[in-house]
Amino acid sequence: MATATPQIVDDVHAGPHHPSHLQHHFVSSQQQFEASKLGIWLFLMTEILLFSGLFVAYTVFRTWYPESFDAASATLDASLGGLNTIVLLASSFTVALSIHMAQRDNQRAVFINLVITVILGAAFMVIKGIEYTAKFEGGAYPGGFFDPHGHHYGHLANVPYAAQFFSVYFLMTGLHGVHVLVGMGIITWMAIRTHRGEFSSSYYTPIEITGLYWHLVDIIWIFLFPLLYLI
C-alpha cells in the first residue's frame, strides 16, 4: 500500500508562480483576497457595534427627555450639517471611482480620486470645526461644563438635561470625527502606494477594503445627521 506517491498539493515555500503580493501563508491570491474581504466586513461590524452603544444612549435619553432634546437639537445648524452630508457623500463617490479605476489599471485616476477623497475628508473636518467653535463660544460644552450663554444658546440654561444632548452630540460626532481622521490617514497611505505603483488590476485589495471602511464612515454620518440635527 505504501507505494502511492504523495501528491504535492502545495509546497511551503513560494514557488515560481508566487506573485509578489501573495503572503507565504496563503495558498492562492483568491484565498488571500477572500480572507481580507471577510476580515474587513467583520471589522466594520465591530465598528457599528461600537457606535451602537452611543445610539442606545441617545435613544434612552431622547425617550426620557424628548422636549429637552428637541430644544437642544434646534440649536444645531442643519445647513452646515447638510453641507457636510453632501461633502461626505461626494467623497464616498470618489473612493468608489478610485476602485473602479483600479480595476481598469488607470493608476493616475486612482491616485487623483484618492487625493480628492482626502481633501473632501479635510473639508468635512473643517466644517465640523466651525460648528464646534460656535458651540464652544456659546458655552454649549458637554455635560458638567455646560454653561450656555449668548442669544443662540442662552435659553438652554433653563432646559433641564440639555447638557446630556450636547454630551451625546460631542461623543457621537467626536468619535465619528476620529474615524474620519483615521480614514484620511489610510487613504493618504493608499495614495502613496498607488503612486509607487504597488497596485494593478490584478491586485488592489487594500484600496478596496479602504473604500469599504470609508463607506462605513459615511453611512454612520448618514445616521447621525438626521438623529442629531433633524428630528
Partner 1 sequence: MANPSQSVAAAQAREVQAHQHANVNYLNVDKSIKSWIYTLDHKRIGVMYGVTLAVTFLIGGILAMLVRTELLTPGPTIFFSPDGGLSAETYNRVFSMHGIIMVFLFLVPSVPAFLGNIILPMQLGAKDVAFPKINLASYYIFLLGGVFTVVALIVGKVDTGWTFYTPYSTSAAASNGVLFMTLAIFIAGFSSIFTGLNFIVTIHKMRAPGLTWNRLPLFVWSMYAVSLVQVLATPVLGVTVMLLFFERLLHIGIFDPALGGDPILFQHFFWFYSHPAVYIMILPAFGIISELVATFSRQRIFGYRAVALSSVAIALLGFMVWGHHMFVSGQSVLSSVSFSLITYLIGIPSGIKVFNWIATMYKGSVWLQTPMLYAIMFLFLFTIGGLTGVMVAVLAVDVHLTDTYYVVGHFHYVMVGGQVIAIFGGLHYWWPKITGKLYKESVGKIAAAIIFVGFNFTFFPQLVMGAHGMPRRYADYLPEYQMWHDISTIGAYVLAIGFFLAAGNLLASLFRGMQSPANPWGAATLEWTHSTSPALPHNFLRTPIVTRGPYDFHLAHDIFEEGDGAGDGTAEAVAADKGTGPDSPPPPGNVGQPIGKPPARPEK
Contact 216, 92 (CB under 8 A): no
Binding of partner 1 by 112 (CB under 8 A): no
**CB-CB neighbours of 204 under 10 Å:** 26
Q: In this structure, what C-alpha cell is assigned to residue 133?
A: 467653535
Q: Which range, of 39-47, 74-82, 195-203, 204-212, touches partner 1 by CB under 8 A?
A: 39-47
Q: In this structure, what C-alpha cell is assigned to residue 75?
A: 440649536
- Which of 19, 53, 82, 185 is the binder for partner 1 (CB under 8 A)? 53
Q: Which range, of 44-52, 85-93, 187-195, 222-230, touches partner 1 by CB under 8 A?
A: 44-52
Binding of partner 1 by 181 (CB under 8 A): no
98: Cβ–Cβ under 8 A, 6 or more apart, which residues?
109, 110, 113, 114, 117, 207, 211
- Which of 18, 21, 29, 35 is the binder for partner 1 (CB under 8 A)? 35
Q: What is the rounded CA–CA span in Å between residue 63 and residue 128?
A: 27
Q: What is the rounded CA–CA span in Å between residue 102 and residue 201?
A: 6
- Which of 66, 143, 154, 185 is the binder for partner 1 (CB under 8 A)? 143
Q: What is the rounded CA–CA span in Å between residue 155 and residue 71?
A: 9
- Which of 17, 25, 151, 196 is the binder for partner 1 (CB under 8 A)? 25
Q: What is the rounded CA–CA span in Å between residue 171 and residue 159?
A: 20
Binding of partner 1 by 231 (CB under 8 A): no
CB burial readout 148-182, b (16+ within 10 A) else e = beeeebeebeebebbbbbbbbbbbbbebbbebbee
- Which of 16, 17, 21, 46 is the binder for partner 1 (CB under 8 A)? 46
Residues 55-94 vs partner 1: string with x where CB under 8 A? -xx--xx---x-----------------------------
- Which of 14, 19, 34, 133 is the binder for partner 1 (CB under 8 A)? 34
Contact 101, 113 (CB under 8 A): yes
Residues in the interface with partner 1 (CB under 8 A) total 50
- Which of 84, 98, 167, 210 is the binder for partner 1 (CB under 8 A)? 167
How far from 197 is each of 41, 111, 204, CA to CA, in Å?
A: 26, 10, 11
Binding of partner 1 by 51 (CB under 8 A): yes
Binding of partner 1 by 125 (CB under 8 A): no
List residues near partner 1 by CB under 8 A.
1-2, 4-12, 23-27, 31, 34-35, 38-39, 42-43, 45-47, 49-54, 56-57, 60-61, 65, 141-145, 160-161, 163-164, 167-168, 171, 175
